[in-house]
Amino acid sequence: MTKTEKLKLDVCLSPDLIGNFKTDNTIIVIIDIIRASTTICTALHYGVDEIITFADVELAIDYKNKGYITAGERGGDKLEGFDMGNSPLSFMTPGLKSKKLAITTTNGTKTISLISEKLKENTGTEIIVGAFVNYKVLFDYLISANKNILLLCSGWKGNVSVEDTLFAGKLAAGLEKYSSFEHPSDSANHAKLIYSLAEDDLFGFIMDQSMRFKNIISNLGNDIRYCLKMDVTDALPMLENGKFINKKGG
């Protein structure tokens, strides 16, 4: 990169749009605030050694026979036959220390599988997981890395989601205060605008604007509130050799 070139910071609002973005020599931050990215951060914080993510239910549950704890969810509900669902609160237990986890979810793990396939021939690309719960350690890493950044929102079943978009907006706005980036598309500005409307009451904004959460607050309210907490973990999930490990301090 020459002295006159700026680093690029962009936001992909749905994994279905990933084909429109350049991903070589880029840090890709996977965002699925409610709940996969929050759950992955929480599991590593409580001592899980490694996490393998799957788009396919059958592939995930097969890992039971390999000694892995299995976690599975579709449409917010725990899948039959799996040890756990996708609630980050259920991973707050010392019993997970030194365990291995195989997980499949409605959106987040599908996004990871999609981007992993796309990046097979890429060079210099990193995949990490971001959430409100690990915001500071994520932010510090991105600032220190001095690379292009793509914030990839998992959304909901191919569509845009409010909570992922506003997190991407918060992160993009914060990064711009410490470094000079250029935006190849309008998506980052869109996300920053959404966050500016929501920042005074994230929970209330999501409950008011998210069509899919309006009628399930009694089931997911505690999870959603936790997923919006700032900096409750310093776990930094990074994909290495097909597995997420905690690169805290790495």
**pLDDT mean over 219-226:** 88
Q: What is the pLDDT of residue 218?
A: 56
228 in any annotated domain? yes
Q: What is the pLDDT of residue 45?
A: 96
**pLDDT mean over 166-182:** 93
**pLDDT mean over 226-248:** 95
Please return the burial class of 94, using the count of CB atoms within 10 Å of its CB with bins 0-12, 13-18 and 19+. exposed
**pLDDT mean over 163-188:** 94
Q: What is the pLDDT of residue 10?
A: 97
Q: What is the pLDDT of residue 250?
A: 45
Please check the confidence at residue 81 and state whether its pLDDT lies above 70. Answer: yes
Pairing outcome for strands 243-246 and 237-240 = antiparallel
Q: What is the pLDDT of residue 141?
A: 97
Q: Which of 2-6, 108-112, 178-182 has the highest mean pLDDT?
A: 108-112
SS3 for 53? strand
> How do residues 110-121 score in pLDDT, each as one tens digit?
999 999 888 877
214 in any annotated domain? yes
Q: Range of 104's domain? A: 7-246
Residue 145 tokens read as 């890395």
Please check the confidence at residue 80 and state whether its pLDDT lies above 60. Answer: yes
Mean pLDDT, all residues of the chain: 92
Q: In total, how many domains does the chain have?
A: 1
Q: Would you say 55 and 109 are in contact if contact means Cβ atoms under 8 Å apart?
A: yes
63 in any annotated domain? yes
Q: What is the pLDDT of residue 217?
A: 56
**pLDDT band for position 191 (50/70/90)?**
very high
Strands lying side by side in the sheet with 26-31: 77-78, 69-74, 100-104, 50-54, 243-246, 237-240, 126-130, 26-31, 148-153, 7-12, 181-182
More confident residue, 157 or 233: 233
**pLDDT band for position 3 (50/70/90)?**
low
2 in any annotated domain? no
1 in any annotated domain? no
Q: What CATH number is attached to the domain comprising 26?
A: 3.90.1560.10
More confident residue, 56 or 214: 56
**pLDDT band for position 216 (50/70/90)?**
low
> How do residues 93-150 score in pLDDT, each as one tens digit?
999 999 999 999 999 999 999 998 888 777 789 999 999 999 999 999 999 999 999 9
Looking at residue 188, the DSSP 8-state letter turns out to be H
**pLDDT mean over 7-22:** 94
241 in any annotated domain? yes
Q: What is the pLDDT of residue 168?
A: 98
Give residue 130's region: left, alpha or beta (phi > 0; psi -120 to 50).
beta
Please return the burial class of 20, using the count of CB atoms within 10 Å of its CB with bins 0-12, 13-18 and 19+. exposed
